Structure formats: structure tokens, C-alpha cells
């Protein structure tokens, strides 16, 4: 397929099924090896996500190798050289009578013949932080890891070892230091910086050295109680006295030069007016920026690398109104994986060999939705909250229906320090296919819009943040899009909390509410967090967001729930405990609410926080569909 042939005409969708929307992505986050001859990716097999390694140019029967992970979670994967990659994985296990989540790193040979778990016999709870990988073709990494679970032991604080992932052999390069949890290395593999934090005093410190021969010295301190912060580099440049860092001194996160001798910010290198920076893409040498990522109404990138900038421009021109994202590149920048899709279609991953000037299909994201298909249209709108604050929201309208007096699903995102953007969303497209308009507000406190917007969410959980959601409904009604009598709130995590709060506080506005993995009891959440490191800081943050936990926790107002609610939660959720929904259901029952009429509670035995299993996605959509048909039919 040539570059020009990737553009696809629009085609009307067929009659889909709920199973189509619930299907896991066929391919997710593919990564090219340094030579661009192999790819490692998560793919869907039998309703679950698996890691595979494939040779791009070899079409033989042994072309694809699946890496066995057992019951472990696959958290990330990166190529070290063409023959080896490292994977980060984790699992929950019982440690001295309590459930702990352990992280590990393994070296995986590209032909699938060998897996070396690093520091297998000495690692403690957290052993999954790879802070550097060699760029000379050797299979070397720097791994930061704990060697003890006990706070009083020196090994509780991570050390840094250089590891040959092909053998598992390692030698120490930086010893553990009290309170230092994060280490940073330059492109040559020299550990240059560490950040320490004492949760009891809330004091942070920055350790620095200019080279491997020098000793670490404390060069800066910050009192978190006074909202002071340290600036850590995103990248050490070829100049040993300069780094690149992100800072919000101008109101939004932007990129600056950082003088490592004075720790002062210098020249601004990039900003996206009105929006924060998401991250950077390093250049081949690892000492400069190839690109910077940011999100306006949709995810965007600015390429500093001239080759990548030209490729991006050429592909953008070829795909028309669809969007192209460079996902992964070979080390020389000549072979790439590019995703082409749109908010109304999942799209596909293509392999682009610039020497041949052709893009070939690597994998569709969905086997259910053909590449020529467009589903329901998506766009960004802006409305004013009752205090005049402008809020952006993502609006999806059902295809083929007039945008007038539609049933509305108000869908707040999780986080709450997160945001929604114009992009393919299987929940949203399912609901739009069922005939609903879907509105996703980036309410105050959402990320990506700068410091002032985020700060407006402080102290406003369930209060002004909830008002912003109601104001979004009012906007949709005033605009004629939504029928005020047919509105339901659906959300997950913080969005699930907001849905519970809506059913309890604003039932007259919503015909129903749906919470997946929602938080019902803020006090219980903080008590659960207290068993983890730096829980004091987490509690401080929560108190800033909600000074009175009890007053804004839906679990304390079960008798006030005045609209039907569907509660769903995965038993294996490690982000929000299943007891948050389980206890909410019990309180509703104790308050005289009738199961099946006033509330429905569904617990998924193998479900997690992220819908990693297709069976859980399908059950959720089926339960959601049944509930909406009963309480807010389209």
C-alpha cells in the first residue's frame, strides 16, 4: 500500500452488536526494535491481552512468539537491542498477612527462548523501575529496586544496579540512600540525580552530581506543607551543565532549559498556549528532544526532528480528515509504526518503510469495524459554568439522528486529575450507537488546562465540580440537543463517585446513574491508603480536594438516593477497593432501598480497574444496556 492509498472513504455502519463494542483491541501499543525489523505489542487472544514478539519481514510459522506471563499483569515493555527487550510486570501476593502488589522486570529474548527475571532472589516489593537503557547495542539497563520490605532497613530505599538482561548479571552503581526513592540517569548511563522525601516531615531534597566520579550533594530542598516543589530534569543534554525540564511558572506546563549549576530555569523551549505539556520524545542520542507531546482538543505532537516532521506532514496529507500518530520508530528513524484513525473509528496500525515509500497494514485495532466505517461523530464544545468558568467538553452525537431532544448520557471522567479528549472510546460509541448523545465535561480540577484551572477543583469534590456537571446538562438542554427529562449520569472511578453523588444530591435532574469502580467513602479510601508509603502526603492532598470527607461521601446519605443506580465493581480492582461499591449497596439496602428497583449491584470476580478482560467489558455493556432500557430508554 502506498502512502496515498491509506486514505479511506466514508461508509455507513452495519447493524453492530454489543459484542462488537466490547471486543478488546486486536493490537495495542506496538513498539519497534532498534533496527525496525521486529515488533513487540499487546494483542487480544481469547478475550485476554497477551504480549507477542513478531518478525516484520519473516512470514514463517514461527514469526510470532507469545510471551507467557501467567497470572501476572503486563505493565510495560521496551526494546534494549534487537535481540532483547525488558518487560515490567506485577502481581498481588500475600506478605505477612496483607495483600501487596509486587513489581518486577524481566529480560526477554526476542525469539522467545529465554526469560530472565532480574534480581529475582533479592528484590523486595518494588523492583520495576528501569531508569536507563544502553544505546550502543549491548543488552544493558540500569534498574532501581528495593531489597527489603522493612522501613528500618537500608534496603527499603532503592539501589541502582547495572544489569546485563541477557544473563541477569548485575553490579551495583549507586547504593541505597535514606528517603531517596527516585533516581535519574543521563544518556551515558551515569546516575546524576536523586530525589528524596520524608513523609513525616513532608520535606523533599534533591541530590545531584555532575559526573560518575563526583559525590552526591543536596542542592535543593522543598517543604511540601508550603506547596514548595523541586524541579527534576526530563532529559540531561549533551552539555553536562544543562538539562530540559518542565515547569508551570507561566500558568501551564512548558519546557525550559535548566541550568544544573544554579538550578535556575533558562530559555523557554516549547509551550502550547492554554494547555499543558504531556511529555517528550528523546532523540536517537538521548541528549535532545525529537518531539514534544501535548493535548489541545485532541492529542498532538510537535516534532523538532526534521525527518519525523516531514514524515508526519506527508502522512497527515495522505490520510485526509483522519488522524495519524507516529507510535514507534527505528533508531535511524527510517522505519515507523503509525496509527491512522479518528474519534469515530478505531483505525489501524501501519508499518511505514521510508526507503520503499510505502505503508503496509500491520493490524487493525478492531476486527469488528472495517477501516472504511465511520461511527458517531465527535467534537469539542465549550460552555460556561454558573460562575462564568469556561469548560471544554467532548460531545458525541448518534449517527443518523437529528441532534434535537435526544436522551443524554453525562459522562464525567475518572481521576479527577485527568481529562477527556477527542478520540476513539468504546463506551461512548456504544452509547451513541444505542441512540444517546454523550457529553464528557472536563470539569474544574481536570488536568491539561494549567495551574489555575486545576486549583479551582481544590476543596470542590462533590460540590462545584458536581455543579459543573449539572451545568453541562443545562447547556445541552438549552442548545436543544438534550431532552431534560431523559438524562443519566454514567462514570467510572471518580466519574463513578460523581454518578453516586448525582443520584444522592441531584436526583431530580437525572433519571438514573451508573457507577463503575466508583468511590463512595472518601474516609475509607484514605484509611486504605494509609498502609502505603507516603500516605501522609496522599492524605494532605485529599484534604485539599475535600476538606470534609463525611459531608461529600455518598455512603453517608444512602437514604437520600432518589434515582435508580447501577453499581458495578471488579473484585480484583487494585486502584479502588471493591468494598467501596459493595458497602454502598449494603447501605442502600439498610436504608430501605429495593434491590433491582432502586439499585442494582454487580460484582465481577475477575474484573480489574481497567477492563483488561473482554468478558468483563461485555458484561458491563450488557448490564448498562439493560439498566438504561429500563430507566432512560432511547
Q: Is the pLDDT of residue 76 over 50?
A: yes
Of 182, 215, 230, the position where a domain reaches its end is 230
508 C-beta neighbours (distance < 10 Å), count: 8
Interatomic CA distance for residues 195 and 247, integer angstroms: 17
Enclosing H/E stretch for 153: none
162 C-beta neighbours (distance < 10 Å), count: 18
In total, how many domains does the chain have? 3
Q: How confident is the model at residue 399 (pLDDT cuts 50, 70, 90)?
A: very high
106 and 239 assigned to the same domain: no
Q: Within a domain: residue 258?
A: yes
Interatomic CA distance for residues 367 and 384, integer angstroms: 40
CA neighbours closer than 13 Å in the CB half-sphere of residue 294: 21
Cβ atoms 278, 301 nearer than 8 A: no
Cβ atoms 158, 183 nearer than 8 A: yes
C-alpha cell at 436: 444517546
Q: Is the pLDDT of residue 6 over 90?
A: no
Q: What CATH number did the domain enclosing 420 receive?
A: 3.40.50.1820
- Which among 407, 380, 212, 410 has a CA at the least distance from the CA of 296? 380
Q: Within a domain: residue 45?
A: no
544 and 445 assigned to the same domain: yes
152 and 239 assigned to the same domain: no
Which residues on adjacent β-strands are paired with residue 55?
38
Q: What backbone phi and psi angles, to 5 degrees, belong to 363?
A: -170, 140
Interatomic CA distance for residues 191 and 142, integer angstroms: 9
Q: In what order do the strands lie in the sheet with 345-353?
A: 323-329, 335-342, 345-353, 358-364
- Which among 225, 232, 296 has a CA at the least distance from the CA of 260? 232
Q: In what order do the strands lie in the sheet with 98-109?
A: 73-79, 84-95, 98-109, 115-117
Q: Is the pLDDT of residue 386 over 90?
A: yes
Q: Which pLDDT value is given to residue 2?
A: 40
C-alpha cell at 548: 470534609
CA angle 22, 28, 34 (to 5 degrees): 175
Residue-wise pLDDT for 86-98, tens only, equals 999 998 888 877 7
Q: Within a domain: residue 334?
A: no
> Strand 390-396 and strand 406-410: pairing?
unpaired
Q: What backbone phi and psi angles, to 5 degrees, belong to 8?
A: -125, 135
Q: How confident is the model at residue 202 (pLDDT cuts 50, 70, 90)?
A: confident
Cβ atoms 1, 348 nearer than 8 A: no
Q: Which pLDDT value is given to residue 547?
A: 86
Residue 272 per-residue DSSP state? B
Q: Within a domain: residue 531?
A: yes
236 and 274 assigned to the same domain: yes
> Strand 235-236 and strand 191-198: pairing?
unpaired
258 and 136 assigned to the same domain: no
102 and 239 assigned to the same domain: no
Residue 611 per-residue DSSP state? -
**What residue numbers bound the domain in which 241 lies?**
231-286
Q: Which pLDDT value is given to residue 575?
A: 87
Q: Is the pLDDT of residue 9 over 50?
A: no
Q: Within a domain: residue 578?
A: yes
Average pLDDT, the chain: 93
Mean per-residue pLDDT, 366-382: 94
518 and 592 assigned to the same domain: yes
Cβ atoms 383, 469 nearer than 8 A: no
Q: Within a domain: residue 613?
A: yes
Mean per-residue pLDDT, 153-158: 94
3-state secondary structure of 329: strand
214 and 269 assigned to the same domain: no
Residue-wise pLDDT for 589-631, tens only, equals 999 999 999 999 999 999 999 999 999 999 999 999 999 999 9
518 and 505 assigned to the same domain: yes
532 and 581 assigned to the same domain: yes
Cβ atoms 142, 78 nearer than 8 A: no
Of 211, 230, 249, the position where a domain reaches its end is 230
Q: Within a domain: residue 298?
A: no
- Which among 105, 95, 252, 74 has a CA at the least distance from the CA of 170? 105
Q: Is the pLDDT of residue 12 over 90?
A: no
Long-range (24+ apart) CB contacts under 8 A made by 277-280 are 277/246, 277/252, 277/253, 278/448, 279/234, 280/234, 280/235, 280/244, 280/255
Cβ atoms 141, 155 nearer than 8 A: no
CA angle 572, 52, 104 (to 5 degrees): 50
Q: Which pLDDT value is given to residue 15?
A: 83
- Which among 371, 309, 302, 380 has a CA at the least distance from the CA of 342? 371
Q: Which pLDDT value is given to residue 530?
A: 67
> Strand 289-295 and strand 277-282: pairing?
antiparallel
Q: Which CA distances in Å does 272 have to 247, 253, 263, 423?
A: 13, 9, 24, 19
Q: Is the pLDDT of residue 527 over 60?
A: yes
Q: Within a domain: residue 116?
A: yes
145 and 239 assigned to the same domain: no
Q: Is the pLDDT of residue 8 over 60?
A: no
- Which among 295, 568, 561 has a CA at the least distance from the CA of 421? 295
569 and 581 assigned to the same domain: yes
Interatomic CA distance for residues 60 and 584, integer angstroms: 54
Mean per-residue pLDDT, 477-498: 98
Q: Which pLDDT value is given to residue 531?
A: 65
* DSSP calls for 226-265: GT------SEE-SSTTEEEEEE-TTSS-EEEEEETTTTEE
C-alpha cell at 479: 442548545
- Which among 257, 254, 256, 194 has a CA at the least distance from the CA of 230? 194
Residue-wise pLDDT for 235-286, tens only, equals 999 999 999 999 999 999 999 999 999 999 999 999 999 999 999 999 999 9
Cβ atoms 440, 518 nearer than 8 A: no
Q: Which pLDDT value is given to residue 225?
A: 85
Cβ atoms 127, 105 nearer than 8 A: yes
Q: Is the pLDDT of residue 1 over 60?
A: no
Between 235 and 529, the more confident residue is 235
Enclosing H/E stretch for 582: helix 579-590
Interatomic CA distance for residues 319 and 11, integer angstroms: 15
Residue-wise pLDDT for 457-484, tens only, equals 999 999 999 999 999 999 999 999 999 9
Mean per-residue pLDDT, 168-194: 96
Q: How confident is the model at residue 540 (pLDDT cuts 50, 70, 90)?
A: confident
Amino acid at each position: 500500500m502506498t502512502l496515498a492509498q491509506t486514505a479511506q472513504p466514508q461508509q455507513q455502519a452495519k447493524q453492530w452488536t454489543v459484542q462488537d463494542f466490547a471486543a478488546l483491541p486486536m493490537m495495542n501499543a506496538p513498539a519497534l526494535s532498534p533496527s525496525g525489523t521486529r515488533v513487540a505489542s499487546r494483542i487480544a487472544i481469547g478475550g485476554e491481552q497477551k504480549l507477542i514478539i513478531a518478525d516484520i519481514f519473516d512470514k514463517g510459522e514461527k514469526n510470532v512468539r507469545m510471551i507467557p506471563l501467567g497470572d501476572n499483569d503486563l505493565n510495560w515493555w521496551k526494546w534494549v537491542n534487537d535481540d532483547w527487550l525488558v518487560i515490567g510486570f506485577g502481581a498481588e501476593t500475600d506478605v505477612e498477612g496483607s495483600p501487596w502488589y509486587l513489581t518486577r522486570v524481566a529480560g526477554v529474548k526476542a525469539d522467545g527462548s529465554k526469560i530472565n527475571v532480574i534480581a529475582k532472589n533479592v528484590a523486595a516489593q518494588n523492583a520495576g523501575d528501569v531508569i536507563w537503557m544502553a544505546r550502543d547495542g549491548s543488552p544493558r539497563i540500569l534498574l532501581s529496586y528495593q531489597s527489603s520490605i522493612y522501613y528500618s532497613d537500608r534496603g527499603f530505599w532503592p539501589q541502582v544496579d547495572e544489569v546485563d538482561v541477557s544473563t541477569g548479571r548485575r553490579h551495583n552503581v549507586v547504593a541505597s540512600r535514606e528517603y531517596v526513592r527516585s533516581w535519574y540517569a543521563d544518556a551515558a548511563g551515569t546516575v546524576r540525580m536523586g530525589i528524596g522525601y520524608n513523609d513525616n516531615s513532608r520535606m523533599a531534597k534533591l541530590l545531584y552530581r555532575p559526573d560518575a566520579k563526583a559525590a552526591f550533594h543536596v542542592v535543593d530542598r522543598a517543604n511540601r506543607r508550603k506547596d514548595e516543589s523541586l524541579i527534576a530534569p526530563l532529559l540531561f543534554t549533551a552539555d553536562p551543565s544543562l538539562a530540559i525540564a518542565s515547569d508551570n511558572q507561566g500558568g501551564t506546563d512548558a519546557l525550559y532549559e535548566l541550568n544544573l549549576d544554579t538550578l535556575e530555569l533558562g530559555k523557554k523551549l516549547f509551550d502550547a498556549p492554554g494547555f499543558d505539556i504531556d511529555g517528550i520524545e528523546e532523540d536517537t542520542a538521548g541528549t535532545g528532544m525529537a518531539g514534544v507531546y501535548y493535548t489541545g482538543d485532541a492529542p498532538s505532537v510537535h516534532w523538532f526532528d526534521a525527518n519525523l516532521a516531514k514524515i508526519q506532514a506527508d502522512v497527515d496529507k495522505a490520510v485526509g480528515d483522519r488522524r495519524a500518530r507516529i507510535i514507534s520508530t527505528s533508531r535511524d528513524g527510517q522505519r515507523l509504526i503509525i496509527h491512522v484513525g479518528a474519534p469515530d473509528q478505531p483505525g489501524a496500525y501501519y508499518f511505514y518503510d521510508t526507503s520503499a515509500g510505502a505503508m503496509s497494514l500491520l493490524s487493525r485495532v478492531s476486527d469488528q469495524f472495517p477501516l472504511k466505517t465511520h461511527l458517531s461523530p465527535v467534537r469539542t464544545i465549550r460552555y460556561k459554568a454558573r460562575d462564568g468558568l469556561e469548560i471544554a467538553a467532548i460531545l458525541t452525537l448518534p449517527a443518523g439522528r437529528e441532534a434535537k431532544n435526544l436522551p443524554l448520557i453525562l459522562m464525567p471522567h475518572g481521576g479527577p486529575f485527568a481529562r477527556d479528549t477527542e478520540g476513539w472510546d468504546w463506551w461512548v460509541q456504544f452509547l451513541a450507537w444505542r441512540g444517546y448523545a454523550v457529553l464528557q465535561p472536563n470539569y474544574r480540577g481536570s488536568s491539561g488546562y494549567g495551574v489555575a484551572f486545576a486549583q479551582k477543583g481544590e476543596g470542590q469534590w462533590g460540590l462545584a465540580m458536581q455543579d459543573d456537571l449539572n451545568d453541562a446538562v443545562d447547556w445541552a438542554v438549552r442548545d436543544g440537543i438534550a431532552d431534560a427529562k431523559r438524562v443519566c449520569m454514567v462514570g467510572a472511578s471518580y466519574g463513578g463517585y460523581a454518578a453516586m453523588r448525582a443520584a444522592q444530591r441531584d436526583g431530580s435532574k437525572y433519571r438514573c446513574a451508573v457507577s463503575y469502580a466508583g468511590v463512595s467513602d472518601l474516609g475509607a479510601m484514605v484509611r486504605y491508603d494509609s498502609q502505603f508509603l507516603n500516605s501522609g502526603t496522599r492524605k494532605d492532598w485529599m484534604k485539599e480536594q475535600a476538606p470534609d470527607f463525611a459531608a461529600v461521601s455518598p455512603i453517608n446519605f444512602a437514604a437520600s438516593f432518589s434515582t435508580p443506580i447501577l453499581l458495578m465493581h471488579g473484585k480484583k480492582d487494585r486502584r479502588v477497593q471493591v468494598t467501596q461499591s459493595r458497602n454502598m449497596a449494603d447501605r442502600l439496602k439498610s436504608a430501605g432501598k429495593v434491590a433491582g428497583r432502586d439499585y442494582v449491584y454487580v460484582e465481577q470476580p475477575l474484573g480489574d480497574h481497567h477492563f483488561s478482560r473482554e468478558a468483563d467489558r461485555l458484561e458491563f455493556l450488557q448490564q448498562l444496556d439493560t439498566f438504561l432500557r429500563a430507566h432512560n430508554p432511547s
